[in-house]
Amino acid sequence: MELQYRESLPDQHAYFALFESTGWNREYGLTPEELHAAAGRSWFLLAVYRQGRLAGTGRVVSDGVLHALIVDVIVLPECQGTGIGTAILTRLIERCRAARIRDVQLFCARGKAPFYRRLGFTDRPADAPGMDFKGSPAPAAEAS
């Protein structure tokens, strides 16, 4: 299985199809343009191609110094279990280490924690810092 790794944004439609394969978009309701814009603002993005077809991606959102968040590690269902996910995550972590980022966190999809634990991630304690925001953002004029 020949793989190509590219540190560039994949084609908008191929990336959207890959993202759709996760089922996450039922909650987010992103358009292909919105998803592509979000991915394009990543601090680091890695795309993996198998036989010329987009097979997986992963990205890091970061300030480049202190905090980094690994998100959207996705591998096509038919390519899962082939080592692509491990290769993506390893390269994302290596990039963070090379930049000497002190705090690397992970946004983990439901049911995937065992995969990430095998690669060195640990669960956050219930009393650890951090929360999710589930409300509506304030209108732009009121935000400060």
Q: Domain spans of the chain?
A: 3-118
One of 5, 15, 49, 116 is an active-site residue; which one?
A: 116
Query: What's the pLDDT score for residue 127?
Result: 84
Query: What's the pLDDT score for residue 56?
Result: 98
What dotted CATH number matches 3-118? Answer: 3.40.630.30
- For the chain, give me the number of helices (H) and strands (E)? 5, 5
Question: Does the pLDDT at position 122 exceed 60?
Answer: yes
Indicate the average pLDDT of the chain. 91
Contacts of 106 (CB under 8 A, 6+ apart): 69, 70, 71, 116, 121
- Single pTM value for the model: 0.87
Query: What's the pLDDT score for residue 18?
Result: 98
Active-site residue, 116 included: yes
Query: What's the pLDDT score for residue 142?
Result: 52
- Cα 124 from Cα 35, distance rounded (Å): 28
